[in-house]
Amino acid sequence: MSFAHALQALAVMALWGLNFVVSKWALLEFPPLFVMFIRFVLVSALIVPFFRVPREKLLPIAALSVTLGSIHFPLMFNGLRGIDAATASLAVQAQVPFSSLLAALVFKDKLGWRRATGMMAAFAGVLVIAGEPRLGNALPSLLMLLAASLAFAVASIQMKLIGSVNGFAVNGWMALMAAPQLLALSLLFEQGQMESLANATWLGWGSIVYMAVAVTIVAYGLWYPLLGRYDVNQTMPYLLTVPVFGVASGVLLMGDPVTLNLALGGLLTIGGVAVIVKRRPRTVSETVTNPT
């Protein structure tokens, strides 16, 4: 990979890593499900008019929207509300070993001892992070993030089963179908939606614009050309830097502490994920919507 394209890949990872902090900022002003509703309305408005999907793909994309819109994102953003961005960016890496397990079941993809070791290391890292004393009251939030990671792993399998479809089209139409689900859930389980709209500051609205435009449109606009140009073994390793950017942005912008548990757990998790990524060609989709 050329130096310019390597910087392009790192820019994408930085956009995705920073999103953990930006999401926290949005959650300071909007209810979790409602903020995702607004985000998906914006994403669909910017993408759907310009990208169509084959009629036969609409049902699988609708199923994907349920997994992401009604399960993953509600768990993800409610969990993120109760935990710091640095810890969250590491915990959600559990999606990779979860995806590896599901791929073994769905695609009959042989695990092998190296990948199994990587999975155990990744899960062990999450357990070390969970043992952090300061997270005593935040364990329910951590469990929600892990459940969200499992749901995202299911979504990555669904994405592979959808087959060859333009990534922007999938993101846009999935957002269009997920938005009403999130609105319904928000109206059922949340309060203060209108007040949040009336009192939102530039930081709240800017955070939503960042999540919709920078994370979904700009980042994937930079990422998809690299996927088409380079082999999977050259692009996938860059995904390992997302939690690095996530932790760094949490520490620098929100003052998240870097404790011994977080450092050791993070190294175990990223190391295990690195082994899985290196040893598998089919467990994690590169085109599925970013988990945050």
- pLDDT tens across 225-240, in order? 887 788 766 777 788 8
Is it the case that residue 77 has pLDDT exceeding 70?
yes
**Quick one: pLDDT at residue 28?**
94
Is it the case that residue 284 has pLDDT exceeding 70?
no
**Quick one: pLDDT at residue 240?**
84
Q: What is the pLDDT of residues 116-163, one digit of tens each?
A: 888 888 888 888 887 776 666 788 898 999 999 999 989 888 888 887
- Confidence label for 282 from pLDDT (cuts 50, 70 and 90): low
Q: Is the CB of residue 210 less than 8 Å from the CB of residue 19?
A: yes
Q: Is the CB of residue 199 less than 8 Å from the CB of residue 29?
A: yes
The pTM assigned to this predicted structure is 0.88
Orientation angle between helical segments 73-81 and 139-162, nearest 10 degrees: 150
Q: Work out the angle at residue 217's Cα, subtended by the Cα atoms of residues 213 and 218, and round it to the nearest 5 degrees.
A: 85
**Quick one: pLDDT at residue 23?**
94
| Percent of the chain at pLDDT exceeding 90 | 45
Residues 278, 119: Cα–Cα separation, whole Å: 12
The residues, ordered by sequence, that sit 6+ positions from 257 with a Cβ below 8 Å of its Cβ are 84, 86, 134, 251
Is it the case that residue 14 has pLDDT exceeding 70?
yes
Q: How many CA atoms lie within 13 A of 247 on its CB side?
A: 18
The residues, ordered by sequence, that sit 6+ positions from 252 with a Cβ below 8 Å of its Cβ are none
| Three-state DSSP string of the chain | CCHHHHHHHHHHHHHHHHHHHHHHHHHCCCCHHHHHHHHHHHHHHHHHHHCCCCHHHHHHHHHHHHHHHHHHHHHHHHHHHCCCHHHHHHHHHHHHHHHHHHHHHHCCCCCHHHHHHHHHHHHHHHHHHHCCHHHHHHHHHHHHHHHHHHHHHHHHHHHHHHCCCCHHHHHHHHHHHHHHHHHHHHHHHCCCHHHHHHHCCHHHHHHHHHHHHHHHHHHHHHHHHHHHHCCHHHHHHHHHHHHHHHHHHHHHHHCCCCCHHHHHHHHHHHHHHHHHHHHCCCCCCCCCCCCC
Is it the case that residue 280 has pLDDT exceeding 60?
no
